[in-house]
Amino acid sequence: MSKTIRIIQNLLDEHDINASFINKLYNMINRKEIYNEETINLDNSNFIGDTYVNGYTYREYINKINEYFKQLHIYPLGTYIKFEDSVIEQILLNAGIGDGIGITEDLAAEVTSLPSFTDNTNITSFNELHYFTKVKTITANQFKGCTNLTSIDLSNITTLYENAFQSSGITHADLSNLKTIYGNEQFKNCTSLIDIVYPSNTYVSNGMFYGCTNLTSIGVDWSLLGYLDARAFAHCQSLTGDIILNYKDTKYYGGTLCDTGFTNIKIISNTISTDFLGYSSGAIEYNAHIVNVPNCNIIDLTECSIKDIVGVGIKDTKATWLLLPPSANKINAHLSCPSVDNIVISTTEIPSGLSRDPTWYEWNDGPGMLYWVPDSVYNSWLTSAKFNNSTTHLRMMSQLPQNIKNIYANINIDCNNL
């Protein structure tokens, strides 16, 4: 009899084929005290065919044993979930979920709600959440303040309530099945959050990802996002590159891109007709739609149905180019964007309010300020009193600098049709 067979026979002398036997066999395999089935007499009836275990064990144990004894098929009364984080498991057991020893997969599948973990700094992971197939909702504040919670499986979650993960330590969030959002600031100040998978055409709440300073990816084209509420991605400085936001059928509120790292911003909308760029009251982040985007070069509104540009508008953004739509017939705003020195105006009529007077002083409207206008109206604009009969501030749109054309080529926009 081989050493392996003797070890197993000794186990059988001490135990029936029960959970304790399975657990000890698993541990022996892990300690390399038992070798694979090639060293075992496969005629041994205890290790061939179907074996029914009188008890509960872990699926990982069964899978490991089956790697060694491929002809052995183990059927326990049930399989416990092996939690990576024992603190999570104990909290669930204390809440009456489980049999006092563990939580079986079958039992987890019948659970409809979970206890609150608010401000628990001891939990580190909950990657077993997918076993709780009837739990579709993360309730208000449920994981708020769990600063050491780095990973959680959210792939089954369809509903989020306010502050669900605010100030937690999670690094990734799969929200691909998210459908309903209640309240605000679900992931506010999750400074360890690196990437998310967000579903298209889905609402992003007020301040939902506010202050997620290390967020770099949202897992979906920005143009496919649904209605973005105020401050949705405010203070997400690691969001960079070019962005196209499509609001043809949705709303767009202020401060959504506040203090982000985007380079070129294009907004498409046929639902916003007036007061697009500003709010008259509230915190500064609400006062402007595009506020404090320090790396921004181009702000393109040419595909927005904006008529009036009023209010605070674009504030403290370093953009040097502002592209306005043909519908813009009134511009009367202190846009507080001193770096802007190129305004592309695609309308054929000079918008009311546009002039070289104190209305525009916050634009730093000095000798370098250029207005780019359609070729067809260049001469009539040239003779307008608003431009002091000077070519200093007027340029024909067909002469847009090549670097601007290059930028638009990279983000698939035809600048010749601006």
| Residue 35, in any domain of the structure | yes
3-class SS at 186? coil
Higher pLDDT, 291 or 274: 291
Q: Over the stretch 352-369, which tens digit does the pLDDT of each residue have?
A: 655 444 344 344 444 456
Sequence-distant (6+) residues with CB within 8 A of 243 are: 222, 257, 262, 264, 265, 266
| Residue 194, in any domain of the structure | no
Closest among 407, 254, 280, 410 to 344, alpha carbons compared: 407
- The CA distance from 408 to 394, in Å, is 22
- The CA distance from 389 to 15, in Å, is 102
Domain of residue 291, residue span: 238-251+263-418
| Residue 117, in any domain of the structure | no
Domain boundary at 80, 103, 125, which? 80
What end-to-end distance do the CA atoms of the chain give, in Å? Answer: 86
Residue 89 CB neighbours (<10 A): 20
Query: What pTM did the predictor assign?
Result: 0.80
| Residue 172, in any domain of the structure | no
Which pLDDT score, from 0 to 100, does residue 158 have?
Answer: 98
In this predicted structure, the answer to whether residue 339 has a pLDDT above a threshold of 90 is: no
| Residue 89, in any domain of the structure | no
| Residue 246, in any domain of the structure | yes
Which pLDDT score, from 0 to 100, does residue 334 have?
Answer: 45
In this predicted structure, the answer to whether residue 176 has a pLDDT above a threshold of 80 is: yes
Averaged pLDDT, 109-125: 97
**What H or E segment, with its residue span, contains residue 324?**
strand 321-324
Q: Where are the beta strands (DSSP E) in 175-320?
A: 180-181, 195-197, 240-247, 261-269, 290-291, 298-304, 308-311, 314-315
Q: Residues 203-222, buried b or exposed e (16+ Cβ, 10 A)?
A: bbbbbbbbbbeebeebebeb
In the chain, the number of structural domains is: 2
Q: Over the stretch 178-232, which tens digit does the pLDDT of each residue have?
A: 999 999 999 999 999 999 999 998 999 999 999 999 999 999 888 888 888 888 9
Strand partners, 126: 152
Q: How are strands ordered across the β-sheet holding 180-181?
A: 137-138, 159-160, 180-181
Q: How far is CA 225 from CA 173, 244, 251, 319, 333, in A?
A: 16, 10, 11, 24, 29
Sequence-distant (6+) residues with CB within 8 A of 84 are: 124, 125, 127, 128
Which pLDDT score, from 0 to 100, does residue 323 have?
Answer: 80
Domain boundary at 63, 80, 97, which? 80
Which pLDDT score, from 0 to 100, does residue 115 have?
Answer: 97
| Residue 167, in any domain of the structure | no
Domain boundary at 59, 80, 101, which? 80
| Residue 202, in any domain of the structure | no
Classify residue 253 by burial, with Cβ atoms within 10 Å: 0-12, 13-18, 19+.
middle
CATH of the domain at 375: 3.80.10
